[in-house]
Structure 1
Amino acid sequence: MDKVFLFIATGFGSGWLPKAPGTWGSLAGVLLWLGLHQLAPASYAAALAVLFVLGTAAAGAAEKILDQGDPGAVVIDEIVGQLIALAFAPAYPLALAAGFALFRFFDILKPFPVGWLDRHIHGGLGIMLDDMAAGACACLCLHAVLWLLGL
């Protein structure tokens, strides 16, 4: 069961890639979005909910398995956060690139409320929530820019 939790927590292995696992995890989120973006809104939300529950359990288990708090290899949170950032975005390369960059911005710099969640909530839930907040901030910014551009 440990291998299953680690497989999920590491974003199907993308978290083991060298240098910047969070960026690789975010890229895995973009690739997953390509397969999910045509779902009806309720189905997309259901997929996010399932990934959130699985991710929370897997991230919490990975902390114990790896004996480390919020291990770098755990990127299921980046995948879910990226899916939130791109929610209802048009399938234009520029929109995807902007959503990716905005999510990475909020995930790395951790402005409020992202940083607060990162510092105050721990375990699998804490690992997931700060990236979900980063994704929500990125989504709001992305859609504001798209609206301003008339897209």
Structure 2
Amino acid sequence: MADPTLQQLLREPRMLLAFGFGSGLSPVVPGTMGTLVGLPAIWLLALLPLPITLIVITLAAILGVYLCDYSSRQLGVHDHKGIVWDEFVGVWITFLAVPLTWPAVVAGFVIFRFFDMVKPWPICVADRKVHGGFGIMFDDLLAGLAALGTMQTLIYFSIL
């Protein structure tokens, strides 16, 4: 299958989710667009107790392995640029136990995108060596954890 259209995504709910409700179809920086579409959920997640938030994110990551694997198989491309469910989950991890002020939201978005795009070690190793749906998800989970660590450090030193 060539790159899907929005009409094709609407007919296939698994691909619609994997493509971030269509945000992954953006011709420019689809990963960034997917992150932007996934970002509002952080306010909903912040309403939940932390243990429940962790369960929701874990379930979203498990679902993401399936969605990303299914979509990449349908497209015949490993980690198609339009698959952005992994960005959703990665950015949600970034904001675990982070006060949602506008400076923190902007910083977290930029920091997550940095780690996701630049892929410093060990993210780059995971990106190259781990395949399938788990591989598509794993590098973004690591980017989210790296961004979370950075955010918590900035909070600890009262920078945010």
Normalization by structure 2: what TM-score? 0.90
2 CA distance for matches of 1:27 and 1:12? 12
Say yes or no: does 1:43 pair with 2:55: no
C-alpha separation in 1, matches of 2:22 and 2:123? 25
Alignment-derived partner of residue 142 in structure 1:
151
2:81 is matched by which residue type in structure 1? G
Give the drift of 1:81: 0.3
Residue 12 (structure 1) aligns with: 21
Alignment: residue pair count:
151
Shift in alpha-carbon separation, 1:144–1:16, aligned structure 2, 3 A: same
Match of 2:5 in 1: none
Residues 42-95 of structure 1: per-residue CA shift (max 9 Å, x gap): 110111011111111010001111111100110000000000011111010000
Give how far 1:148 is off: 0.4
Structure 1 match to 2:3: none
Unaligned runs of 5+ in 2: 1-10
Q: Which amino acid aligns with 2:43?
A: L
Deviation at 1:150, TM superposition (A): 6.6
Q: Does 1:84 align with 2:93?
A: yes
Identity of aligned residues (%): 35
Superposed counterparts of 1:16-27, under 5 Å: 16-27=25-36
Q: CA deviation at 1:141?
A: 0.5
- In the alignment, which residue of structure 1 is the partner of 2:103? 94
Which residue in the other structure is 1:67 paired with?
76
CA deviation after TM superposition for structure 1 residue 147, in Å: 1.0
Query: Which secondary structure does the structure 1 equivalent of 2:120 belong to?
Result: coil
User: Who is 1:103 aligned against?
Assistant: 112
RMSD over aligned Cα atoms: 1.5
Runs of 4+ in 1 over 6 A off after TM superposition: none
Gaps of 5+ in 1: none
Q: TM-score, normalised by structure 1?
A: 0.95
Structure 1 distance, partners of 2:105, 2:87, is: 15
2:134 match: 125
